[in-house]
Structure 1
């Protein structure tokens, strides 16, 4: 993983560069907000770790300018400014995650690797793929098993994914609760049929802004309906 560390504290920068380097990351560093954008463009990192208190221009300005320039690299804000207002402002500006100082190095590594995996997963699916099933703005890539809303992979648990795959494969047709149970809880004899309703409830919330609704048909099962 290639990482750009934008941090003006020399001791913190050196310690993180050593620690993350030992964990298999290629770390580039920058101490100044004005130089950060140029280095960001030059290094093309997989993930950026960004401090907010920088000389020149602060971290939020760096992030805002990066997004305006089309730099879509995942960004984790790492800063001592840990108030709720700072977190909200950072996320609204375009950050993907936020970790206040002091922090645990294992947690930082886990979050960085999660951002890197998410970036890889949200690469655009191939166009005109005959192996894809489309319902409204949802696209099910059968080869990979991933489901996209527009160009972004839906972040689903394995059970939510299994349930949505079953429904999207039968557009306009109800799938019974019993069949969904077999697909979502294979071989789990100690689980009750009502567990399907819990997965449906969680999945329905995640589909709320996709233009597709998960509909319950009493006595028949569940289906996907494209919103008018």
Structure 2
């Protein structure tokens, strides 16, 4: 049974969502403010955290940012009354998995929760089914330890950046379009008119390539991106 964290300051909404998720077979812990939510996220083990953006003490963005800096990789679904594209992009860049705008139908929330849980269950392949580590030049990616290094340097990546790099290195030498990246990494749960893919690639390149003389992540104009060692 999956255990999830719900951080929602509105009592009626928290009770309604907690009851519905519980009836769907999920174990739910509820926090009513940002600091309590962050404490639970960092001290307990969850398969998913559902965070309201506007919270007392710490907003949802701050919770996610602090959790990621602490090394916590729990999948996150944001709930918010704000539908600005900039807000959605901000949440995705911080490492959120999805973004649901209020008001919403509970059936849609439950469907998205199940998609995230299935996706992250599938992300951990059975032992021996496929490689769990990849090497390209001096870049090493360890899927089990969720670690990326170049030479002796540890590269600190957000969950989305790690997922993006994992896809690129699994298919090294193959040009992947923005559509493919959006589908495989973000599951298309965002407005396709946004530049979230370009922003994520740019941030990944800043960490992966900019400090090093050998460049691995390349843009193929009009086609997409490719991870490869070029002569």
- Give TM class, smaller chain: 0.5 to 0.7
Change (3 A) 1:204 1:55: closer
How many angstroms does 1:136 deviate by?
6.9
Change (3 A) 1:52 1:205: closer
Change (3 A) 1:55 1:150: closer
Change (3 A) 1:46 1:202: same
Instruction: Provide the C-alpha distance between the structure 2 equivalents of 1:150 and 1:125, rounded to a whole number of angstroms.
Output: 21
Please list every run of 5 or more consecutive structure 1 residues that lacks an aligned counterpart in the other structure.
140-148, 155-163, 173-199, 213-224
Change (3 A) 1:227 1:99: same
What is the TM-score normalised by the length of structure 2?
0.59
How many angstroms does 1:64 deviate by?
0.5
What value does the CA root-mean-square deviation take over the aligned residues? Answer: 4.0
Higher relative contact order (CA 8 A, sep 6+): 2
How many angstroms does 1:118 deviate by?
1.5
Change (3 A) 1:134 1:107: same
- Please name the residue that 2:104 is paired with: 103
How many angstroms does 1:132 deviate by?
5.0
Please list every run of 5 or more consecutive structure 2 residues that lacks an aligned counterpart in the other structure.
142-162, 182-200, 202-215, 219-226
Q: Report if aligned partners of 1:51, 1:78 keep a CA contact under 8 Å in 2.
A: yes
What is the TM-score normalised by the length of structure 1?
0.59
Matched, 1:8 2:9: yes
- Please name the residue that 2:71 is paired with: 70
How many angstroms does 1:84 deviate by?
1.2
Total equivalences in the alignment: 168
Change (3 A) 1:8 1:134: closer
**1:147-176 C-alpha deviation (Å, 9 max, x unpaired):** xx898468xxxxxxxxx9xxx8xxx9xxxx
